[in-house]
Amino acid sequence: MSKTYHKRLTADADFSGIDHIIIGSGMGGLTVATWLAKAGKKVVVFEQHYVPGGFTHSFKRKKGFNWDVGVHYVGNVGKGGSLKSLFDFITNNKVEWASMGDVYDRVHIANDIYEFKAGKENMRQQLKEYFPEDVDAIDAYLALIDKSNKYGSAFFFEKTFKPVLALTIGKLIQRLYRPYSQRTTYDVISSITENKRLKAVLCAQCGNYGLAPKSSSFAAHAMVIGHFIDGGYYPIGGADRLATTTIENIHNHGGEVYINASVDEIVVERNRVKGVKIDNRFIPCKSVISNIGVDNTFYKLLSEKERKKCKFDLSNINPSTGHSCLYVGLDASDADLKLPKHNIWYFKHDDQDEIIDKATVANAPLNFSYISFPSAKDPDWAKTHPNKSTIQAITLGHYDWFKAYKDKPWMKRGEAYEALKLDFEEKMLARLYELYPQIKGHVVETEVSTPLSTQHFTNHPHGEIYGLEHSPKRFTLAFLRPETKIKGLRLVGQDITIVGVAGAMLSGMLAAITILKFGVWKLFKQMKRS
């Protein structure tokens, strides 16, 4: 059994001399904690859940199955990948990545199938084979992805600028990014092609940022496409390796991670952070870094007075979508069942906006699904789980569909709620049997989660999984940056950068830059040497 490096919070824990308190142990929080601990700062991470890691953690069930809750694949971590050295830095080189192969996503639209192949030129060629009449549009699309992401890198790095630079160079960067961030994905793609099916294929991965083409910012779309364009990868040993190895690294540099540690308040005096309160215990520190989402940070841990000082206002932007997920355990191996490594994106037809905007609790699993095969992606799975395999099947899950049951206890929400889950399970299993009939008779364990499950374990108010929605409005919110107007209070997580584990990790690095300033270059040199 592997050693754990996190602790359960106890009343006698010594918190003297803390430099930085991080609230939440998702990838943004663990990343900034690692950078600061490696710089010699005394850091403590408080996690309200009994399992650390946020959306990188996994859960187990009695029959020997375990499933990831959030990390289905990661891009740019192969040989020479732009994110590999950053992941290596926080995990101390203890996470290896398995390629998902030449095809990492397969798109089903009605009765047609389209493959996303690893490598920009492979993708270009494959798309041109599918759409020989639209070769110019495909070239234009890939050029737009590159241009958007070039300005996007500058846009996110600008979030570390101090006010003088932010109001000068920063404004220029924002203006250059506006043609991409302030137009919808649908509008940009419609400007280069009228082919409805090509549009649907190009937008097929919209579930990775949780918004329909006519509502999403093209900048967010471009970031996600660029992230995976060289292929998908999976952490060998499972997604929770990201959290466990990073927590070990934090511990080895003098930091600590505590579970069952729910912060009740960020204490602020005269516009400066003084510490936090947990169960009426005041814990002082020099700064607080929140990784629990801007909504939770400002509306649950700060007063209205402090919120107004930060010019924080979410009234014109929505939370991202929630989801419902069917976790499936099978009594045969991936090899025996011939299960793939690639993901499946299924759409009943090619109007994704209609599918998403007109989704109901009854029709969502019939019209859209994302299917992942985590055990097939992990080379270590068969060694530790012989004759077993796992599948995850996901569709939209709006909080409003389930909120009538929100005040009932977890796992005991009543017959009506269980009936909704059972209906979803039956429809999702029917889709799986249609696509992979060989699994019929091998399903031995199932479990369903809804946005209420996400809300229960993460405290996200609407059970959202991607923070704030990735609409054009998101890219205009000036307060979405690591430093706030309260001295000593900083923010990390997907809200500050972009969706996903990689976006959250980058937010942690940006926050560390604002704290360590020029001292951060020592860590960059250290990263290059390792």
Q: How far is residue 203's CA from residue 219's CA, in Å, rounded to a whole number?
A: 13
- Identify the CATH number of the domain defined by range 58-98+233-238+319-458: 3.90.660
C-alpha distance across the termini of the chain, in Å: 28
pLDDT in tens, 101-117: 999 999 999 999 999 99
Q: What angle do CA 384, 58, 469 make, to 5 degrees?
A: 145
Q: Looking up tokens 């031995």, which residue turns up?
A: 444
Q: Which of 233, 215, 244 is nearest to 76 (CA)?
A: 233
Task: Provide CB contacts within 8 A for 438, sequence distance 6+.
Answer: 337, 338
Per-residue CA distances from 230 to 80, 82, 224 (Å)? 11, 11, 12
Residue 344 β-bridge partners: 106, 371
3-state secondary structure of 424: helix
- Supply the pLDDT for residue 33: 98
Q: Which of 471, 467, 476 is nearest to 500 (CA)?
A: 467
Type of residue at 373 = F
Type of residue at 131 = F
Ordered by start, the domain boundaries in the chain are: 6-56+240-312+479-529, 58-98+233-238+319-458, 135-227
Per-residue pLDDT of the chain (530 residues; tens, 9 = 90+): 468 899 999 988 999 999 999 999 999 999 999 999 999 999 999 999 999 999 998 888 878 899 999 899 999 999 989 999 999 999 999 999 999 999 999 999 999 999 999 999 999 999 999 999 999 999 999 999 999 999 999 999 999 998 889 889 999 999 999 999 999 999 999 999 999 999 999 999 999 999 999 999 999 999 999 999 999 999 999 999 999 999 999 999 999 999 999 999 999 999 999 999 999 899 999 999 999 999 999 999 998 888 888 888 888 899 999 999 999 999 999 999 999 999 999 999 999 999 999 999 999 999 999 999 999 999 999 999 999 999 999 999 999 999 999 999 988 999 999 999 999 999 999 999 999 999 999 999 999 999 999 999 989 999 999 999 999 999 999 999 999 999 999 999 999 999 999 999 999 999 999 999 988 999 998 888 76
DSSP 54: G
For 70-204, strand residue ranges (E) read 97-99, 103-109, 112-117
CATH fold for the domain made of 6-56+240-312+479-529:
FAD/NAD(P)-binding domain (3.50.50)
- Asked if 328 and 337 touch (Cβ cutoff 8 Å), the reply is no
- Supply the pLDDT for residue 526: 87
Mean pLDDT of the chain: 95
Give 132-138 contacts, CB < 8 A, sequence gap 24+: 133/195, 134/193, 134/195, 134/198, 137/192, 137/193, 137/195, 137/198, 138/198
- Supply the pLDDT for residue 278: 96
pLDDT in tens, 296-346: 999 999 988 888 888 888 888 999 999 999 999 999 999 999 999 999 999
Q: How far is residue 90's CA from residue 98's CA, in Å, rounded to a whole number?
A: 18
Predicted TM-score (pTM) of this structure = 0.96
